[in-house]
């Protein structure tokens, strides 16, 4: 055996000799490395699954709110629609150069706490997740008729729905909506396969179905005060026409000055009443009032005048919270008929994304906001990034304690090792051999711990994947080492090296004081 | 520098002073002491007389505070640490009173490790090790045993094998029989002398027990050498 071979052989036999303490040290290292690597893994998986919530969509367009608000609403369906996009804008965007497809989304209704998404059948072709994975059906197909509904996998699993089941969609968000009624029933035409995205938690119906829910609602509600909903709808239509004229004549002007209430008042007489009520209360009341008024009586106006006003209020007063609060109370958050909540936009070339985004943001007929989903997802992730740092901090602390444990074990064994070291010295072992022996023993312990941790992590992922795949459609990657993990592992080795040099140095010092073991007599 | 041949003296000490730290009283003050090549010397010293310290200096494990210590015609204290280690491995054998072997290594590995540090080729080593094991009347099957599984008497015999394995020119023995009973003590000493007869090796045998000294022609008391008075 060469000196190096001898070194490893002695180190190995020395570790075997101390197997009990060594096993404990290996276990301590393995557990802490396991924690460290799993936190890293979960962090990466969370980030990548988060980032792959939506793919293939180049832009998301909505009424002008915050970018993250729009993303949360349109993709995660968190929050409530506070402003809507007129159908005319949908058409205008679809006609933009470079725009290949548009898929409108209408939100605001729910079914047993799951969100109902009104969209076009094209949604199932266009919406993708992960690495451009299309939505697939477990069974059935996309909606065709107004009374058809497609349900996400978790909705189906949790509510026990099967193909062909009939269900009622309620109007509004709250489960116990005041306007809950049993008139509009839908039948399930398709169950989506699990995606691990918010798609799993939603029900999908056609835009016409959303309109039907609300038209129907108008009927039942207005029947209580004696006037049939249809008539009301007609009245609204008339108003709509009226506003249509405004559109042509004054719209540009109006938009040029958004931010000034007076402008609106001048243009729309009925706004006066509106504004008056609004100013009586606090600004928070304004939103409530506005929501209420709009949705119940002036739904069609919304798309023409009130958007700007509303946006101003948001911008000026930061009333997002109030919006949502009040919306929840009332449970009337669906867009007015003829409007949508957001538009998913696909472009024919990725190079023009920013150009189209700017064009949409500068669209003059309506205040619109276009966001890049990937970019905004990253922004959103950076908001929740604090949590991952906390996790990281914990795993680093766990690891440091394990390293100290390892070193403590080495130091504790120094007493008995002192004699071994004297023997080694007496037969001519160089100091370097003794230092290397102790360092190699530490590194072997750490290496075994890391190998054990990796094996454990991969094993755990395989087990968890079996559960996750069937339940959530998520598969954790078996790629458990990232560049950050390599840095962590390198740091582990470095600190082990440094820490093991402490007992090694003590051994070296002991080797130079030829006393005990010989002078015990 | 080849101490194996034509060594004039195994040990030649002049004006040695050793203290454990600057400003402390010297433990050893030896104006002069010489051991000839192949000479076997019994060094009598009581516990705490500084005999182990002297052995440490002779083995190159300690460096004297002042004076010159020549071992096998080599100024051992002037060698670098690394060279001292190599010198020790090649030319000096050491046997302690009790703990001589690495407990978790086999008897054979304990012996071969000494050969390793002396830089000897390994193929012939095993045969030589087994030969020496047989020479000290140990059963060959013990070669594969872990050192800790052997009795103290057996361990001390393995210690002789290991100390002589590299054909040293100087053997330093420190109370090797203190852990042995009377019968074992005698047979150990006889065996040690027999084995040494095959070699050209000088020996310094240190013990507090004057009765052992009767087996040696050359005897010296450390107290006579050391002018520090051995108060350590």
- The reply to whether B88 touches chain A by the CB within 8 Å rule is yes
Question: Pairing between strand A185-192 and A339-340?
Answer: unpaired
Within 8 A of A426 by CB-CB distance, chain B residues are: 59, 61, 88, 94, 96
- Residue A225 pLDDT > 50, yes or no? no
Share of chain A above pLDDT 90, in %: 7
Q: What is the pLDDT of residue A248?
A: 42
Question: Pairing between strand A59-63 and A368-371?
Answer: antiparallel
**In this structure, what DSSP letter does residue A72 have?**
I
The pair of structure tokens assigned to B28 is 């050893």
- Residue B78 pLDDT > 60, yes or no? yes
- Residue B121 pLDDT > 60, yes or no? yes
- Residue A117 pLDDT > 50, yes or no? yes
CATH number of B9-225: 3.40.50.300
* B47:A424 CB<8 A: no
Within 8 A of B96 by CB-CB distance, chain A residues are: 423, 426, 517-518
Closest to A514 (Cβ–Cβ): which among B62, B100, B114? B62
User: Of the ranges A407-416, A493-502, B36-45, B153-162, which one carries the lowest mean pLDDT score?
Assistant: A407-416
Q: What is the pLDDT of residue A283?
A: 45
- Residue A259 pLDDT > 50, yes or no? no
Q: What is the pLDDT of residue A339?
A: 83
Work out the average pLDDT over A175-180.
49
Q: What is the pLDDT of residue A448?
A: 92
> How far apart are alpha carbons A511 and A438 in whole angstroms?
13
Strand (E) positions, B63-166? 66-71, 74-75, 92-95
Under 8 Å CB pairs connecting chains A and B tally to: 96
**In this structure, what DSSP letter does residue A75 have?**
I
Task: Quote ipTM for the complex.
Answer: 0.87
- Please say whether the beta carbons of B167 and B90 come within 8 A: no
What digits encode the pLDDT tens for the residues B203-216? 999 988 888 888 88
Work out the average pLDDT over B25-29.
89
- The reply to whether B79 touches chain A by the CB within 8 Å rule is no
Q: State the average pLDDT for chain A.
A: 72
- The reply to whether B232 touches chain A by the CB within 8 Å rule is no
Q: Which residue ranges make up each domain of chain A?
A: 3-52+388-512, 59-371
> How far apart are alpha carbons A25 and B147 in whole angstroms?
25
Long-range contacts of A409-416 (CB under 8 A, 24+ apart): A409/A21, A409/A22, A409/A24, A409/A25, A410/A438, A410/A441, A410/A442, A410/A500, A410/A503, A411/A502, A411/A503, A411/A506, A412/A21, A413/A18, A413/A21, A414/A503, A414/A506, A414/A507, A414/A510
> How far apart are alpha carbons A24 and A402 in whole angstroms?
10
* A423:B86 CB<8 A: no
- The reply to whether B202 touches chain A by the CB within 8 Å rule is no
- Residue B229 pLDDT > 50, yes or no? yes
Work out the average pLDDT over A168-175.
63
Report which of residues B75 and A503 the model is more confident about.
B75
- The reply to whether B49 touches chain A by the CB within 8 Å rule is no
- Residue A434 pLDDT > 50, yes or no? yes
Within 8 A of B61 by CB-CB distance, chain A residues are: 425-426, 511-512, 514
Q: State the average pLDDT for chain B.
A: 86
What digits encode the pLDDT tens for the residues A120-158? 988 988 888 877 888 889 888 888 888 899 999 888 888
């Amino acid at each position: 055996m060469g000196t190096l071979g001898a070194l490893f052989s002695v180190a190995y036999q020395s570790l075997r000799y101390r197997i009990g303490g060594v096993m404990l040290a290996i276990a301590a290292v393995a557990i802490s490395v396991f924690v460290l690597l799993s936190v890293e893994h979960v962090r990466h998986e969370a980030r990548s699954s988060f980032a792959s919530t939506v793919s293939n969509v180049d832009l998301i367009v909505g009424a002008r709110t915050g970018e993250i608000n729009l993303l949360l609403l349109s993709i995660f369906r968190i929050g409530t629609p506070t402003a809507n996009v007129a159908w005319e804008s949908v058409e205008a965007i679809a006609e933009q150069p470079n725009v290949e497809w548009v898929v409108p989304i209408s939100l605001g209704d729910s079914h047993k706490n799951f969100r109902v998404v009104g969209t076009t059948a094209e949604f199932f072709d266009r919406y993708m997740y992960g690495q451009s994975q299309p939505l697939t059906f477990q069974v059935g197909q996309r909606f065709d008729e107004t009374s058809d509904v497609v349900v996400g996998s978790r909705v189906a699993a949790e509510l026990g729905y099967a193909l062909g089941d009939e269900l009622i969609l309620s109007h509004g968000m709250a489960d116990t909506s005041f306007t809950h009624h049993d008139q509009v029933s839908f039948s399930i035409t398709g169950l989506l396969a699990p995606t691990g995205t918010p798609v799993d938690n939603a029900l999908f119906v056609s835009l016409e179905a959303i309109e039907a829910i609300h038209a129907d609602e108008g009927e039942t509600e207005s029947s209580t005060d004696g006037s049939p909903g249809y008539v009301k709808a007609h009245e609204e239509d008339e108003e709509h026409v009226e506003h249509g004229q405004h559109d042509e004549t004054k719209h540009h002007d109006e938009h040029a000055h958004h931010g000034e209430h007076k402008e609106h008042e001048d243009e729309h007489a009925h706004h006066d009443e509106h504004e008056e009520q609004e100013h009586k209360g606090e600004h928070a009341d304004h939103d409530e009032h506005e929501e209420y008024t709009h949705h119940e009586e002036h739904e069609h106006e919304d798309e023409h005048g009130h958007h700007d006003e509303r946006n101003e209020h948001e911008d000026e007063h930061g009333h997002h919270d109030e919006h949502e609060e009040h919306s929840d109370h009332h449970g009337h958050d669906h867009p007015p008929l003829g409007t949508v909540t957001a538009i998913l936009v696909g472009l024919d070339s990725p190079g023009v994304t920013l150009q189209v985004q700017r064009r949409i943001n500068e669209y003059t007929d309506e205040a619109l906001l276009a966001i890049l989903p990937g970019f905004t997802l990253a922004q959103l992730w950076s908001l929740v990034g604090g949590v991952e740092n906390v996790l990281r901090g914990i795993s680093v602390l766990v690891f440091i304690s394990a390293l100290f444990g390892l070193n403590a074990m080495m130091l504790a064994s120094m007493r008995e090792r002192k004699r071994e070291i004297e023997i080694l010295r007496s037969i001519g072992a160089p100091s370097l051999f003794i230092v290397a022996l102790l360092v190699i023993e530490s590194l072997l312990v750490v290496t075994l711990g890391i190998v054990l941790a990796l094996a454990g992590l991969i094993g755990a992922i395989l087990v968890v994947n079996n559960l996750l795949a069937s339940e959530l459609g998520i598969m954790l990657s078996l790629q458990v080492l990232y560049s950050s993990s390599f840095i962590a592992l390198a740091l582990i080795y470095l600190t082990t090296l440094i820490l093991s040099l402490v007992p090694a140095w003590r051994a070296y010092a002991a080797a130079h004081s030829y006393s005990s073991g010989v002078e015990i007599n | 520098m080849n101490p194996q041949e034509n060594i004039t003296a195994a040990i030649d000490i002049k004006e040695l002073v050793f203290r454990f730290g600057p400003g402390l009283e010297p433990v050893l003050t030896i104006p002069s002491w010489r051991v000839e090549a192949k000479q076997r010397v019994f060094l009598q010293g009581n516990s705490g007389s500084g005999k182990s310290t002297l052995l440490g200096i002779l083995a190159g494990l300690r460096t004297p505070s002042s004076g010159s210590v020549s071992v096998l015609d080599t100024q051992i204290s002037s060698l670098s640490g690394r060279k001292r280690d190599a010198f020790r491995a090649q030319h000096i054998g050491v046997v302690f009173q009790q703990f001589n072997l690495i407990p978790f290594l086999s008897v054979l590995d304990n012996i071969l490790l000494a050969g390793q540090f002396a830089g000897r080729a390994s193929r012939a080593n095993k045969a030589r090790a087994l030969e020496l094991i047989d020479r000290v009347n140990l059963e060959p099957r013990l070669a594969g045993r872990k050192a800790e599984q052997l009795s103290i008497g057996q361990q001390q015999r393995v210690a002789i094998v290991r100390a002589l394995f590299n054909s040293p020119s100087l053997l330093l023995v420190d109370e090797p029989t203190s852990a042995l009973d009377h019968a074992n003590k005698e047979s150990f000493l006889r065996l040690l002398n027999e084995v040494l007869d095959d070699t050209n090796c000088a020996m310094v045998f240190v013990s507090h027990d004057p009765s052992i000294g009767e087996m040696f022609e050359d005897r010296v008391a450390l107290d006579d050498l050391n002018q520090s008075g051995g108060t350590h």
